[in-house]
Every structure is written in C-alpha cells, then in structure tokens.
A and B are shown apart, each in its own frame.
Chain A
Amino acid sequence: DAGVIQSPRHEVTEMGQEVTLRCKPISGHNSLFWYRQTMMRGLELLIYFNNNVPIDDSGMPEDRFSAKMPNASFSTLKIQPSEPRDSAVYFCASGPRIYNQPQHFGDGTRLSIL
C-alpha cells in the first residue's frame, strides 16, 4: 500500500514568496494532520481535518498560514508571505477515524526560507 505522499521533499525560496506544500493521505483514512518540526518547538500540530472538514486549527501560527482539503485524497498547506522563521520540516499524517488507531506520517517537506 502506498503511504502518505508529500511534495515537494525540499523547498528553498526567498522571503515574501508564496509556498504551497502538498499531501496525499492513505486511501480510506478519514483524518489528516499537518505538523511542523523545529529544533525549538519539536513536533507541533498545526491543523487537522476529519472527512475533509477542518476540526482544529488552533496550532496554525498566524494568518499567513492556511490549509485546505478539497477532497479525501488531497490537502495543501500554504504560507503567504513566507518568512525565514517558517523554515522547518513540515509533516503530513493521516489516520482512520476510529479512535485508538495510529497516524501514519509522510516523509516531510524540508522548507528553507532565505
């Protein structure tokens, strides 16, 4: 089975540019999660969706960040405008809606904002 697929794997761009990260969850999973990993804050949840609907976005750092899930097989995380402090590894994870089942992670997007 294909796992969670994220693209791009690496992104380097200049401050002020728009950045779009993409995620394809595991087929059949109803929940999708976006995480950010930094040295200072570790792995932190940004937002999660159930059945394509955003449930909790309290982890989104500010209005420059937005996430969408137009259908069950695709989600985007957008940063506009980007800033150097957004540099981090961004992970997408998906899981079944059944409780007590683990989430499965993609390999992440390493984002560098110059």
Chain B
Amino acid sequence: DQQVKQNSPSLSVQEGRISILNCDYTNSMFDYFLWYKKYPAEGPTFLISISSIKDKNEDGRFTVFLNKSAKHLSLHIVPSQPGDSAVYFCAASESNAGNMLTFGGGTRLMVKP
C-alpha cells in the first residue's frame, strides 16, 4: 500500500508556462512534506518543503501548496525553464516516526524550449 502517490509518471510543458506536479497521501499522521528534484546519475536534491501548519510555501519560481483535507499537495513551477527537466519526487514524514521519509514514485517533467 503506497502511502504517497504521484499519479502522473510524466508531464510535458512549454518553456515559460506553468508546471504543476501533484502528489496524494493517505497517512493523516504525515505533518512534513518535501519535494526533491533528481537529474540522471545524481542523487535527489532537496527543492522545497512545507509543514502541515501551513498551506503554502514559496521559494522563487517554486511554490508548494498543501490541502490537508484532501490529503493533496502540489508543486508549481513558474515560469518553467528547460533546466527544470528532471524527475520530481514528493516525500512525507511524521514527527512521531523520526525523520524517515516516504517517497512517491516520481514524475518526469520535460520542459520544451
């Protein structure tokens, strides 16, 4: 049973447009959520996070939205750039379980010039 799901394995977006990546979770105890970006042959790189006490966190072109009632989070990238092409993983953890992360399956984003 996957506790964190990314239902879109891939997404293609034109440069300059908005990219929206989605993630759903089932464990209501999760209270910290993160997005990682991964390029081929490299490890995942931390991108942005959000605590469950917030519903939005913004960092430059990247914004994460959290809808606790729907158990859904999304990552918005505006404007999208070709260098954003990568695999994006969402992850979640709960404060009572240490710092263990549960990852979604990833979404491959392709930004076309």
Show the binding face of A for B, using Cβ within 8 Å.
4, 31, 33, 42-45, 48, 50, 55-56, 91, 93, 95, 97, 99-108
Complex interface: chain B residues within 8 A of A108 (CB): 42-43
Asked whether any CB of chain A lies closer than 8 Å to the CB of B45, the reply is yes
Select B44's contact among A55, A56, A105, beta carbons within 8 Å.
A105
B99 and A42 contact, CB distance less than 8 A: no
Query: How many Å from the CB of A37 to the closest CB on chain B?
Result: 9
Complex interface: chain A residues within 8 A of B44 (CB): 43, 91, 105
Complex interface: chain B residues within 8 A of A43 (CB): 44, 89, 103, 106
Residue of B nearest to A55 (CB): B98
Complex interface: chain A residues within 8 A of B101 (CB): 33, 45, 103
Asked whether any CB of chain A lies closer than 8 Å to the CB of B69, the reply is no
Q: Give A56 to B43 CA distance when docked, in angstroms.
A: 22
Select A103's contact among B46, B104, B105, B106, beta carbons within 8 Å.
B46
Further contacts, 12 of them, CB under 8 A, given A31-B98, A103-B99, A108-B42 = A33-B101, A42-B103, A42-B105, A43-B89, A45-B102, A55-B98, A91-B44, A100-B32, A103-B46, A106-B43, A107-B42, A108-B43
B106 and A102 contact, CB distance less than 8 A: no
Query: How many Å from the CB of B108 to the closest CB on chain A?
Result: 13
A95 and B99 contact, CB distance less than 8 A: yes
Complex interface: chain A residues within 8 A of B105 (CB): 42
B45 and A105 contact, CB distance less than 8 A: yes
B49 and A102 contact, CB distance less than 8 A: yes
Query: How many Å from the CB of A13 to the closest CB on chain B?
Result: 20
Give chain B interface residues in 13-51, CB to chain A under 8 Å: 32, 34, 36, 41-46, 49, 51
Asked whether any CB of chain A lies closer than 8 Å to the CB of B11, the reply is no
Residue of B nearest to A102 (CB): B46
Select B49's contact among A93, A97, A100, beta carbons within 8 Å.
A100
Complex interface: chain A residues within 8 A of B43 (CB): 4, 91, 93, 105-108
